[in-house]
A and B are shown apart, each in its own frame.
Chain A
Amino acid sequence: MSSKINSFLLVSVILISSCSSNEKKDGDAVAKVDATLDNTYNSEKFDFVLPQPISLAKAFQASGLTYNAGLANPASNKTRYNTKVKQLLNLGVYSTDLAYCAINEQAQQAREYLNAVQELGNAVGLKPVFSDKKLVEKFDKSLNNTEAVEDLIYDIQESSEAYMDDNDIRYLAIIQFAGSWTEGMYLGIKDLETKQNENLSVTLIDQINLLENIIEGIKTYPTSDQTLTSVTNKLKDILKTYNSLESVKLAAKSSTFAFPKLTKTEISTLSSKVIDLRNYIIQ
């Protein structure tokens, strides 16, 4: 009798062990959301780290960009974006608008952009990052505290980046960044139209230096998309136009690595290209 019990228990233990092993594997499949590593993954020889949307906004702010009501893409436009690429691009646009409003102490507008960011974030598959209902509660509590709102934006950006990295969907981040970059450039250029500001012009050039990596990064998007092709062509056109400007060519030839100082006409040439791209993205 005792040996029968023991045999039964031994079989049970083996079964429990094997079941648990399968459960672990299944569990891991679910947990892949948090941590995925393809053991044979080999990084590309060249890679890059792009700034966060709030850093783009802060760079412009530091160079004297002032808040202009009505320039950002209205949050109500969020319902227009029905394809994944449009949603990603405008998630980027709204991330910059959120940062732009937050650092300029426009709390109510920032809250609207947070909602837009949440909705588009959920739509593109970043639900675990953006579906947190406490996010809006936390935001509301911090509404009149710029630093706390900024903390929250940094937290969202960090979680979003970690989620995309862990799930091998970094290509989403680059499309989002293309939208952020375009909106930042648009806000900067529109501000520059109203005043002479050499620092702002320098910041615009700094941000154009990110373009090559953005264009390169967009290539990693796994499916062919007409909107993305058009956006890439427009980005390439901006870069080509920039590189063909006389001030830029002169600076490149300079033995003292002089920084290009763009003329008003050159800024205007670039502006029209950026505005065209931005309008295409938000339409």
Chain B
Amino acid sequence: MKSIKIIFSIFTVAFLLLSNAPLDNGNSSDARINTYKYECKQLIKPARYEGSRITYYNESQEEQKKSIETFFLLDTEYKLAFSGKECSTKLNIKIYDSADENKRVLLKEIKSGEAKNTLVSSKDLSATYAKKVTKSERLKVIYIEYTIAAKTKKNEAVVLVIGYKDI
């Protein structure tokens, strides 16, 4: 009887060891990023999926800047979903109409994009653009700038998913 108990205990421990075998950090952050990307895809619905970009950054004592350019090729509403859930330090997201620092116009700023998902519509960006820029053309290109605060202790990522209302 005692042997059976011991055997049972050993198998229980073995089972727990197997079922809880931790994945390494890389794979678990992969899985989380995939989840956040999925959440962003859900957020932009019913928009058609246009594309996505995962921006990775490494641990650093310095502030880091990363940027993404994307296009509103169609004259329709675009949705941009950001996930800062994989960011443990402060994430600032700025959206401009151009990459040129001397003449670009700020269309939107998300001051604390970390630890949450945020949805942005091109309608809002276009409205700001129309107010700030005397231009007959609609907004066709945007330039997204991420500022990741200093003292990032881990390698992390920001997720962006883009979609548009079908025409």
Which residues in A have some Cβ–Cβ distance to B below 8 Å? 2, 5-6, 9-10, 13, 16-17, 20-21, 24, 28, 35-52, 55-56, 58-59, 62, 154, 157-158, 161, 165, 206-207, 209-210, 213, 256-259
- The CA-CA distance from A256 to B136 in the complex, in Å, is 9
B115: Cβ under 8 A from any A Cβ: no
Determine whether the beta carbon of B160 is less than 8 Å from that of A20: no
Residues of A within 8 A of B7 (CB): 5-6, 9
Task: List 7 contacting pairs A-B, 8 Å CB cutoff, sorted by A.
Answer: A6-B10, A10-B10, A17-B14, A17-B18, A47-B53, A50-B51, A207-B73
Contacts A39-B25, A52-B50: A58 and B167 contacting too (C-beta < 8 A)? yes
Contacts A2-B3, A257-B137: A42 and B51 contacting too (C-beta < 8 A)? no
Residues of A within 8 A of B68 (CB): 46-49
Q: Which of B30-38, B87-95, B118-126 contacts A (4 or more CB under 8 A)?
A: B30-38
Residues of A within 8 A of B162 (CB): 49
Picked from B2, B6, B51, B74, the residue with its CB within 8 Å of the CB of A58 is B74
Picked from B27, B73, B140, B155, the residue with its CB within 8 Å of the CB of A35 is B27
Determine whether the beta carbon of A6 is less than 8 Å from that of B3: yes
Looking at the assembled complex, report how far the CB atom of A62 sits from the nearest CB atom of chain B, in whole angstroms: 6
Determine whether the beta carbon of A43 is less than 8 Å from that of B23: no
- The CA-CA distance from A28 to B27 in the complex, in Å, is 8
Determine whether the beta carbon of B10 is less than 8 Å from that of A13: yes
Give 8 closest A-B pairs by Cβ, nearest first.
A37-B30, A39-B26, A13-B14, A49-B70, A48-B69, A49-B51, A35-B30, A257-B135
Residues of B within 8 A of A44 (CB): 66
Residues of B within 8 A of A2 (CB): 2-3, 6
Contacts A17-B14, A256-B135: A42 and B56 contacting too (C-beta < 8 A)? yes
Extra pairs beyond A52-B51, A62-B74 (12, CB < 8 Å): A2-B6, A5-B3, A6-B6, A13-B10, A35-B27, A40-B155, A43-B66, A45-B65, A46-B67, A47-B55, A49-B162, A50-B51
Residues of B within 8 A of A158 (CB): 49
Determine whether the beta carbon of B160 is less than 8 Å from that of A49: yes
Determine whether the beta carbon of B155 is less than 8 Å from that of A39: yes
- The CA-CA distance from A56 to B135 in the complex, in Å, is 24
Residues of B within 8 A of A49 (CB): 50-53, 68-71, 160, 162
Residues of B within 8 A of A40 (CB): 58, 155
Q: With contacts defined as CB atoms under 8 Å apart, how many contacts are there between chain A and chain B in the complex? A: 134
Contacts A16-B14, A37-B27: A257 and B133 contacting too (C-beta < 8 A)? yes
Picked from A16, A42, A43, A257, the residue with its CB within 8 Å of the CB of B18 is A16
Which residues in B have some Cβ–Cβ distance to A below 8 Å? 2-3, 6-7, 10-11, 13-14, 17-18, 21, 23, 25-27, 29-31, 33-34, 48-58, 65-71, 73-75, 99, 133-137, 140-141, 155, 160, 162, 164, 167
Contacts A39-B29, A43-B56, A46-B69: A24 and B74 contacting too (C-beta < 8 A)? no
Contacts A5-B7, A55-B74, A259-B137: A62 and B29 contacting too (C-beta < 8 A)? no
Residues of B within 8 A of A41 (CB): 56, 155
Q: For residue A259, which residue of chain B has the nearest CB? A: B137
Determine whether the beta carbon of A62 is less than 8 Å from that of B75: yes
Looking at the assembled complex, report how far the CB atom of A30 sits from the nearest CB atom of chain B, in whole angstroms: 13
Picked from A9, A47, A62, A207, the residue with its CB within 8 Å of the CB of B167 is A62
- The CA-CA distance from A48 to B140 in the complex, in Å, is 14
- The CA-CA distance from A258 to B33 in the complex, in Å, is 41
Determine whether the beta carbon of B57 is less than 8 Å from that of A42: yes
Looking at the assembled complex, report how far the CB atom of A43 sits from the nearest CB atom of chain B, in whole angstroms: 5
Determine whether the beta carbon of B135 is less than 8 Å from that of A35: no
- The CA-CA distance from A20 to B18 in the complex, in Å, is 7
Residues of B within 8 A of A20 (CB): 18, 21
Determine whether the beta carbon of B134 is less than 8 Å from that of A161: no
- The CA-CA distance from A10 to B48 in the complex, in Å, is 55
Residues of B within 8 A of A209 (CB): 71, 140-141
- The CA-CA distance from A48 to B52 in the complex, in Å, is 9
Residues of B within 8 A of A165 (CB): 52, 54
- The CA-CA distance from A157 to B18 in the complex, in Å, is 37
- The CA-CA distance from A213 to B71 in the complex, in Å, is 11
